[in-house]
Structure 1
């Protein structure tokens, strides 16, 4: 008994773009949607990444306007070892510092300094408009790097959202096409059975 040779299926690339009797209008629409999704995902993702990087850079520049560096003096000896158990340990310790503004007003606050620094040591601290010590602003290469990383994170997320929206539209088209096939089979199926029975 001769064996039936296995059926080989050849994938035809870009078949939705080629004229053939099996291609439906919905196939062509789906092809355009897929192409548009890829293009929009790349374009919108790129623009979103650039916009996020620019916004981040502007935020760094804006913060730099509202803070300024002052020279302060330690009022007490700094601790020799950082406190354990902190969520973020940069190796420095908190110490009390004192400084005088340009208008002569004196201020005291706590700032991060190197461990073991003796009283009277001069340190540079950053203050806001309310004369409170704030973290040093991100500037230069650090600001550029953080802005670039922000853009690099936002770009693929925006592109993925666009692609996801297109995938939902494509899914609706596929369900609609399957419903059309079911309807056509309900119409043709009985006749197909009659034709097959007539041949026997």
Structure 2
């Protein structure tokens, strides 16, 4: 196991007579990569999060529930006492009229055994097309936060990976320089002065 001294903060920027130009360049590359990674990640995350939140808020404002009527009896059977079992939901065709007067139809989840003509709620967009129920405000905040976080992490990975590749290239160059210097001065170590 190698012996290591205490961790020294900001060691890349301290004065050292053995520090070469390549070491200084690498120090600035590391600093620049980290700064760019944080900046890009935060910028992308907040932009995407804000965009998702605005889109979901627009859906909550524009999407409206309408009363639709079942076009046919829903498959399945009603429970005893002629009440429909709400535990079993099946797909059935329903029809509704949009705000502009156009007729629409679509498949909805309804209780099994519902009678033809029974009222059901359908959510529609401004054109009257069937959509899902919009998310609540708290669900929208969570969704926007999660999507923004993932987008920020993915965007931050780009400069981080590019920085790692650049550091690898600098490292290979530094090792090649050491090899050149060793090939020049290594043979001299065997000589003695006399």
Q: Under TM normalisation by the shorter chain, which class is it?
A: 0.7 to 0.9
Unaligned runs of 5+ in 1: 1-5, 82-90
Q: 1:7 to 1:108 in 2, by over 3 A?
A: closer
Question: 8 Å contact 1:69–1:126 — kept in the other structure?
Answer: yes
- Other-structure match for 1:175: 172
Distance 1:159 1:134 in 2: 34
TM-score (norm 1): 0.76
Q: Residue by residue, what CA displacement relative to the aligned partner does 1:51-99 show, whole Å, maximum 9, x if unpaired?
A: 1112222333455677543211123332348xxxxxxxxx632112122
Question: 8 Å contact 2:71–2:95 — kept in the other structure?
Answer: yes
- The answer on 1:77 being equivalent to 2:73 is yes
- The answer on 1:97 being equivalent to 2:94 is yes
Q: 1:155 to 1:163 in 2, by over 3 A?
A: same
- Among 27, 30, 41, which residue is 1:31 paired with? 27
Distance 2:178 2:3 in 1: 24
Question: 8 Å contact 2:69–2:116 — kept in the other structure?
Answer: yes
RMSD of the alignment, in Å? 3.0
- The answer on 1:109 being equivalent to 2:106 is yes
- Among 108, 131, 135, which residue is 2:132 paired with? 135
Distance 1:103 1:43 in 2: 47
Unaligned runs of 5+ in 2: 78-87
